[in-house]
Amino acid sequence: MTTSNKITGDNNRVIIFDTTLRDGEQSPGASMNLEEKLQIASLLEEMGVDVIEAGFPIASNGDFEAVNEIAKRVKNSVVAGLARAGQKDIERAAEALKPAARARIHTFISTSPLHMKYKLRMEPDDVHQAVVDSVTHARRFTDDVEWSCEDGSRTEHDFMCRCVESAIKAGARTINVPDTVGYTVPEEYAALIEMLLNRVPNIDKAILSVHCHNDLGLAVANSLAAVSAGARQVECTVNGLGERAGNAAMEEIVMALRTRNDVMPFETGIDTTMITRASKLVSAITGFAVQPNKAIVGANAFAHESGIHQDGMLKNAQTYEIMTPESVGLNKSNIVMGKHSGRNAFRTKLKELGFELGDNALNDAFNRFKDLADKKKTVFDEDIVALVDDEMTRANDHIRFVSLQVACGSKGPQTAALELTVEGAPLSATCEGNGPVDAAFNAIRALFPHEAKLQLYQVHAVTEGTDAQAKVTVRLEEQGKTVNGQSADSDTIVASVKAYIHALNKLLTKREKRAPEALSA
């Protein structure tokens, strides 16, 4: 494959554009609240992401607020807001991005025959005019404008060249060619990038970008082929989160470029040792578990089970390991935590795991750690991460868990006696159900009646062993809005109730924002 990089001369730096907060959040059930988006944005900035696509400001007030808050806080990364080709979209994005140190408006329109005819119901000439108008309008607000031809991989080449040339003439600095439906294959996509580099006369005035969806499992391969062909920005998400089968996974792109630098001599600005933390944070917030055999961040990605492999690893790690666990932030820690560990060791361990808590939060987390260490022989790093994740999301809760007692087993009936506080007032109820979880959830509904529908109930063991903590995700839906609640506890039913309450608290926060008086159930 030839690497005709007319864009950046011999600059082999690949810009990492993370769209976890926009395309990632578009995957059904992955909605995040403001606090969670800020947490992710801050981690993305810290790990060296060049561009953070923070949302789609015209889509909702929540999206506007998230882009606006992220724009206020992020200083080192460019903050991007998405906008369709219309003036209102672009003005809303510009307004949300106003406080940003470095703002990018990312405007798009479909250019494939199928999308123009059936989705837009527009003639190609009108689409072309919209490209010129939208980029020109966006440039009134910022120098940094990105233009995307949605469904680019199914767009006719002549029309694409015409639109790209005009977008650059109108002031776009980045031209993004999405494989919106995950249809292309590496050779074809690389050829498309080369075609643009060879045919668009002013292409040297822009960075070519790629944005691949994973419908055929080729998003990462397609993105890398495009980089080898001359693209210098990759749009991707943490854990490959995104519409349908997701987007190209950032951790895979970054580690492939780093590990196979011999055949892909390109650099990114990402601190790869933060990859594991980012993956865990996004998984914890969205409730989207990472499959154990997922490349780079799966629980088994660095586990060697077979005797032959273990033997080879002991003799020389490189026999079966192409990258070190440490390079993605999986530290083999020297501090083993147990019931004799003190506050100082706990604080040091938290630091090692990437958490800095204030004194009160540290005390609460330490007390919970001590409780856990009493119940569990070995407290693993994963246990501590689950515990602190739990602690960090509970600060402003209206509903709080107090206690739970369940009766279950084959003789029935299964019952749950639950104590909660709602705005500080103690409440208790005992309910039956079809199993202990059902009984416990019925008790929550009895104490705090609500119409929200349970969309997902998911349990994972945080570590191995029968004394492992259970990490539970509960997804609730109310008036088309979904929220995810999570909790971890060595008692699965307690974790389930806490996760449900976490989701309810998030719903209440959403309701408060809609109408302050709607706080009651």
> Sheet of 425-433: strands edge to edge?
399-407, 414-422, 425-433
Of residues 181 and 422, the one with the C-beta less far from ligand KIV: 181
Nearest to 210 by CA among 129, 152, 268: 152
- Cβ atoms within 10 A of the Cβ of 264, count? 17
Q: Which does 148 bind (CB under 5 to 8 A by kind): ligand KIV, Zn ion, none?
A: ligand KIV
Which residue in the shown chain puts its C-beta closest to Zn ion? Answer: 23
DSSP state of 51: E
Of residues 32 and 476, the one with the C-beta less far from Zn ion: 32
213 is in an annotated binding site: yes
The least CB distance from residue 130 to Zn ion, in Å, is 19
Nearest to 486 by CA among 504, 474, 468: 474
Task: Respond yes or no on whether the N-terminal peptide bond of residue 413 is cis (omega within 30° of 0).
Answer: yes
Q: Which does 505 bind (CB under 5 to 8 A by kind): ligand KIV, Zn ion, none?
A: none
CA angle 371, 372, 377 (to 5 degrees): 125
**Helix H or strand E encompassing 502:** helix 492-514
Task: Compute, in degrees rounded to 10, the torsion defined by CA atoms 476, 479, 482, 487.
Answer: -30
DSSP state of 341: -
Dihedrals phi, psi of 19, to nearest 5 degrees: -120, 30
The least CB distance from residue 461 to ligand KIV, in Å, is 35
Q: Which does 108 bind (CB under 5 to 8 A by kind): Zn ion, ligand KIV, none?
A: ligand KIV
**Helix H or strand E encompassing 289:** none
The three-state secondary structure class of 519 is: helix
The least CB distance from residue 500 to Zn ion, in Å, is 32
Of residues 77 and 180, the one with the C-beta less far from ligand KIV: 180
User: Per DSSP, what are the bridge partners of residue 237?
Assistant: 249
Q: Which does 294 bind (CB under 5 to 8 A by kind): ligand KIV, Zn ion, none?
A: none
Q: Which does 134 bind (CB under 5 to 8 A by kind): ligand KIV, Zn ion, none?
A: none
CA–CA separation, 248 and 48 (whole Å): 18
211 is in an annotated binding site: yes
The answer to whether the beta carbons of residues 240 and 247 sit under 8 Å apart is: yes
Of residues 147 and 441, the one with the C-beta less far from ligand KIV: 147
Of residues 178 and 433, the one with the C-beta less far from ligand KIV: 178
Q: Which does 280 bind (CB under 5 to 8 A by kind): Zn ion, ligand KIV, none?
A: none
Q: Which does 36 bind (CB under 5 to 8 A by kind): Zn ion, ligand KIV, none?
A: none
Question: Side chain identity at 148, as an amino acid letter?
Answer: S
Q: Which does 45 bind (CB under 5 to 8 A by kind): ligand KIV, Zn ion, none?
A: none
Question: Side chain identity at 324, as an amino acid letter?
Answer: T
Of residues 23 and 50, the one with the C-beta less far from ligand KIV: 23
CA–CA separation, 60 and 146 (whole Å): 21
- Chain contacts with Zn ion (rule: CB under 5 A): 23
Question: Side chain identity at 344, as an amino acid letter?
Answer: N
The least CB distance from residue 142 to ligand KIV, in Å, is 18
The least CB distance from residue 180 to ligand KIV, in Å, is 3
Of residues 23 and 381, the one with the C-beta less far from Zn ion: 23
Of residues 176 and 286, the one with the C-beta less far from ligand KIV: 176
Q: Which does 107 bind (CB under 5 to 8 A by kind): Zn ion, ligand KIV, none?
A: none
Of residues 282 and 499, the one with the C-beta less far from Zn ion: 282
First to last CA, the chain: 62
The least CB distance from residue 179 to ligand KIV, in Å, is 8
505 is in an annotated binding site: no
The least CB distance from residue 414 to ligand KIV, in Å, is 46
Of residues 179 and 382, the one with the C-beta less far from Zn ion: 179
The least CB distance from residue 470 to Zn ion, in Å, is 34
Q: Which does 150 bind (CB under 5 to 8 A by kind): Zn ion, ligand KIV, none?
A: ligand KIV
Burial of 449 (0-12, 13-18, 19+ CB in 10 A): exposed
Nearest to 381 by CA among 277, 485, 252: 277
> Sheet of 453-461: strands edge to edge?
453-461, 470-478, 481-489
The least CB distance from residue 211 to ligand KIV, in Å, is 5
CA–CA separation, 499 and 471 (whole Å): 9
The least CB distance from residue 212 to ligand KIV, in Å, is 8
- Chain contacts with ligand KIV (rule: CB under 6 A): 23, 108, 148, 150, 176, 178, 180, 211, 213
Residues 6+ positions from 338 with CB-CB distance below 8 Å: 373, 377, 378, 379
Which residues make up each annotated binding site for Mn(2+)?
23, 211, 213, 247
